């Protein structure tokens, strides 16, 4: 059973890599690795996480997994450190999807679904409702991955100290 699952996972990774390898291998996409997105996760790693999970969900649902994985890989292609004041204009959460789409269009040929995925991934914050099922999937997967990455980072910064059996308190750990 495990061997069958491993073979199936390897097959999916090959198909997934075929969908996105031309994007991932470019220097401009690799440059996303210099920006932190959530906690200690780089923008590139976050986008890869969202891309692979979106691929899997769309493949399972018989949707356009290629557009979903490609759009998801570029959904945060804004190319600046949003944590640094002055690195961008306006509120990052509201503006970066349009900036990401503009950057992606400068460097890559995108289809309508890929464009919509990038532009609407911040729904409902931006009020741009996804036009395609794949866009909705990526938006939800992005929120899942962002939450997981942020919570993991927060968890690593705290330790649990037992007080009594069955109880604990949080104590912040300051790293130098």
Q: How far is residue 64's CA from residue 156's CA, in Å, rounded to a whole number?
A: 36
What does DSSP say about strands 158-162 and 168-172: parallel, antiparallel, or unpaired? Answer: antiparallel
pLDDT tens for each residue of the chain, 176 residues long: 455 555 567 888 899 999 999 999 999 999 888 877 766 788 899 999 999 999 999 999 999 999 999 999 998 887 666 556 665 555 555 567 888 898 999 999 999 999 999 999 777 767 778 899 999 999 999 998 888 877 765 555 565 544 555 544 444 444 44
- Domain spanning 2-172, CATH architecture: Orthogonal Bundle (1.10)
Query: Which sequence spans correspond to the domains of the chain?
Result: 2-172
Q: How far is residue 65's CA from residue 53's CA, in Å, rounded to a whole number?
A: 10
The pLDDT, as a whole number, for residue 32 is 84
Q: How far is residue 126's CA from residue 121's CA, in Å, rounded to a whole number?
A: 9
């Amino acid at each position: 059973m495990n061997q069958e699952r491993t073979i199936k996972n390897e097959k999916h990774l090959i198909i997934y890599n075929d969908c996105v390898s031309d994007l991932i291998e470019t220097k401009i996409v690799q440059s996303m690795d210099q920006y932190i997105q959530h906690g200690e996760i780089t923008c590139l790693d976050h986008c890869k996480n969202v891309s692979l999970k979106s691929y899997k969900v769309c493949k399972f649902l018989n949707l356009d997994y290629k557009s979903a994985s490609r759009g998801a890989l570029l959904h945060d292609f804004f190319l600046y450190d949003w944590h640094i004041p002055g690195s961008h204009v306006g509120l990052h959460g509201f503006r970066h999807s349009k900036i990401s789409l503009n950057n992606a269009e400068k460097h890559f040929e995108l289809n309508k679904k890929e464009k919509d995925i990038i532009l609407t991934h911040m729904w409902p914050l931006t009020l741009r409702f996804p036009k395609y099922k794949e866009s909705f999937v990526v938006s939800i997967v992005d929120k899942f991955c962002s939450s997981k990455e942020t919570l993991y980072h927060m968890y690593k910064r705290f330790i649990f100290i037992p007080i009594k059996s069955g109880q604990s308190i949080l104590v912040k750990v300051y790293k130098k």
